[in-house]
């Protein structure tokens, strides 16, 4: 396994729309393993392939307390979302240190392939529903800060660019 580099907002590659995975093969399984290792190392609960500059429809999630219940979604599709909505504070490994409220569906149903290429469908609510919607946005080239006001988004962009410049100087 290998740690992958997580792209940071406002990297333009984060706006790339991911293409479907043609087949869940050893290459995709290695990507999944590397993404899980990267997510756990970064203390995240979800990671989309887009965030590691691989533009394929792959998502890994683990919201368990012990970090031992990984959920793999290949070519995920939301087949239903509840009309009920709720606002939750969200953060993102591509926008470290930034958290803000985003309104999303309270419950979703998603269909996807697992790491063996088997089709599965699951219904999610709470944190898992938020995480699925957040990671699937990445596959569409959307970062959660795009739900915020232009003023907040510009402040975050400025902060992230300054942090990158400061890091590059060191």
Residues 6+ positions from 144 with CB-CB distance below 8 Å:
90, 92, 95, 100, 102, 134, 137
For residue 137 the two structure tokens come to: 């946005």
CA distances from 73 to 28, 85, 130 (A): 11, 23, 15
Place of tokens 């529903």: 129
How many C-beta neighbours within 10 Å does residue 28 have?
Answer: 21
Q: Is 138 labelled as part of a ligand binding site?
A: yes
How many C-beta neighbours within 10 Å does residue 105 have?
Answer: 19
Q: Note the Cα 19 to chain centre separation in Å.
A: 15
In the DSSP assignment, the letter for residue 50 is: G
Catalytic residue, candidates 56, 90, 115, 135: 135
Is it true that the peptide bond before 10 is cis, omega within 30 degrees of 0?
A: yes
| Beta bridge partner(s), residue 78 | 110
Q: Is 55 labelled as part of a ligand binding site?
A: no
135 belongs to the catalytic site: yes
Q: Which residues are known catalytic residues?
A: 135
Binding site per annotation, positions for Fe cation: 92, 134, 138
Binding positions = 92, 134, 138
């Amino acid at each position: 396994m290998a740690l992958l580099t997580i792209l940071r907002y406002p990297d333009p590659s984060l706006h790339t729309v991911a293409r479907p995975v043609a087949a869940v093969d050893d290459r995709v399984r290695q990507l999944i393993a590397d993404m899980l290792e990267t997510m756990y190392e970064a203390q995240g609960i979800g990671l989309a392939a887009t965030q590691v500059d691989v533009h394929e429809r792959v998502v890994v999630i683990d919201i368990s307390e012990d970090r031992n219940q990984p959920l793999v979604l290949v070519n995920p599709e939301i087949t239903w979302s509840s009309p009920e909505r709720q606002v939750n504070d969200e953060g993102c490994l591509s926008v470290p240190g930034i958290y803000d409220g985003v309104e999303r569906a309270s419950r979703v149903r998603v269909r996807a392939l697992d790491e063996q290429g088997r089709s599965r469908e699951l219904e999610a609510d709470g944190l898992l529903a938020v995480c699925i919607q957040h990671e699937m946005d990445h596959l569409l080239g959307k970062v959660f800060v795009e739900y915020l006001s232009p003023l907040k988004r510009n402040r975050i962009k400025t902060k992230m660019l300054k942090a990158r410049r400061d890091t590059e100087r060191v």
